[in-house]
Amino acid sequence: MTTASRAPEGEAPAGGADSAYAWYRLAMSLLVSMIGGVGLWSVVVTLPAVEAEFQVARADASLPYTLTMIGFAVGGIAMGRLADRFGILVPLRGGTVALALGYALSSQATSLWQFMAAQGLLIGLLGSSATFGPIISDVSLWFVRRRGIAVAIGASGSYLAGTVWPPIVQAMIDNWGWRDAHLAIAVFCFVTLLPLSATLRRRAPATLASVPPTATPQRGTARPPMSPQTLQTLLMLAGIACCVAMAMPQVHIVAYCADLGYGTARGAEMLSLMLGTGIVSRLAFGWIADRIGPLPTLLLASALQALSLLLFLPFDGVGALYIVSALFGLSQGGIVPTYALIIRQFFPPAQAGTRVGLVLSATLLGMALGGWMSGALYDLTLSYQAAFLNGLAWNLVNSGIALFLLLQFGRRRDSGAPVPNPA
């Protein structure tokens, strides 16, 4: 008889769902995601230095970020499939090697295309992607009653990375130059991520992974109002739209502050503040999702992101930008983890890695598209006003999809039966 079968009724078995081991595993996952998430944010801080080093326009200097996000998106799908098949240890260890190699090679780049290749292929596609989507889907397999808050904590790794890394990277660039900064990152990732990944070698038991995503599934639920392909596609479109909007402040706040005369260090501080409050947002919206369900939570977070994005238009003083950056972080942090909760509510657990990877990869494509579009609009207008308006328009698309899904599936946490797979 297994430990799980001997557990008293109503208590989490040792090493089972919502157990002490699950919370320990969540803490290790958060640390891995925070370190590996450097690939998402160092390129943002390095943007002005790369622009000056290679003498390129703002839109061209944004391309390394765009390729990193595209690689991150495609890699997220592949890493999710690997995690579904072999467990999370395989993609994590391979990603660690690729991440370290990518930073080492990017530090030696003699042209923009070489820098872009290292960022897109090694850091994005094969490196940091292993520490985001697979981490979130793996966390979702170890929790039932507290899945919302647990997934929110796991998804906060990328924002914790955005809080911790930008000031560190900026300080290294100021003192050593961006090339030596990249070498230092390569060494640090290699010597920390390999031993940390070993703490996640254990795979979720089949009995745990098959636990239904809602505690009280509705009996006799009518046929869901759309096919799995339709729901998956709508979630991916929503992910693209929300992150095109999200990319404008996150990708360009450092350059925006430099243009306003406040300096890149101020911009890095605002990015750190934005992502730090984003952690608070993710935890808060995870708690909300456990109580009202993921679909209403998605609509709420989307509406608040639109409102906070709008505030960037009239306020450009340094003090006001700190405040608006904090408000933006507080509003938008809960959107992305909610997609994983929706996937776990309406799809089988065995598909978590692949389907969560698809949706999260769509959000990263949105970040890539939004980062490039904002730079292109700046080059066209020599102002970020049009870029902010563009982000707001995409945000409204996301809110529209969230409202449509909420009307289709209802607002209750247990209102949706799993969407049947096509025959």
Q: Confidence class of residue 5 from pLDDT cuts 50, 70 and 90?
A: very low
Residue 240 has pLDDT above 90, yes or no: yes
| pLDDT tens sequence across 303-351 | 999 999 999 988 888 899 999 999 999 998 889 889 999 998 888 877 7
Output the pLDDT for position 419: 57
Give the pTM.
0.74
For position 99, what pLDDT does the model report?
97
Distance CA 324, CA 311 (A): 7
Provide the CA 47 distance to its chain's centre, in angstroms: 20
* Burial profile 245-265: b = 16 or more Cβ within 10 angstroms, e = fewer: bbbbbbbbbbbbbbbeebebb
Tell me what pLDDT residue 191 has: 97
The pLDDT score that the predictor gives to residue 224 is 57
Tens digit of each residue's pLDDT (9 = 90 or more) over 11-53: 444 567 778 999 999 999 999 999 999 998 899 889 889 889 9
pLDDT digits (tens, 9 = 90+) for 71-82: 888 898 889 888
pLDDT one-digit tens code per residue, 157-170 = 887 887 789 889 98
pLDDT value for 338: 92
CB proximity list for 337: less than 8 A, separation 6 or greater: 136, 151, 152, 154, 155, 282, 285, 286
Query: For residue 211, what are the contacts with CB-CB under 8 A and spacing of at least 6?
Result: 17, 144, 349
What domains does the chain contain, in order, with CATH numbers? 17-209+224-409 (1.20.1250.20)
pLDDT confidence of residue 104: 97
Is residue 262's pLDDT more than 70?
A: yes
Q: Does pLDDT of 382 surpass 90?
A: no
The answer to whether residues 251 and 367 touch, using CB atoms and an 8 Å cutoff, is: yes
120-124, 246-250, 380-384 — most confident range = 120-124
Rounded Cα distance between 60 and 56, Å, is 6
CB 342 within 8 Å of CB 228: no
Picking from 113-122, 172-181, 404-413, which range would have the lowest pLDDT averaged per residue? Answer: 404-413
> Quick one: pLDDT at residue 254?
85
Confidence of residue 171 (pLDDT cuts 50, 70, 90): very high
Cβ burial of 400 (10 Å; 0-12, 13-18, 19+) is middle
pLDDT higher than 80, residue 2:
no
Nearby residues of 274 by Cβ (< 8 Å), 6 or more positions away: 162, 249, 250, 253, 325, 326, 328, 329
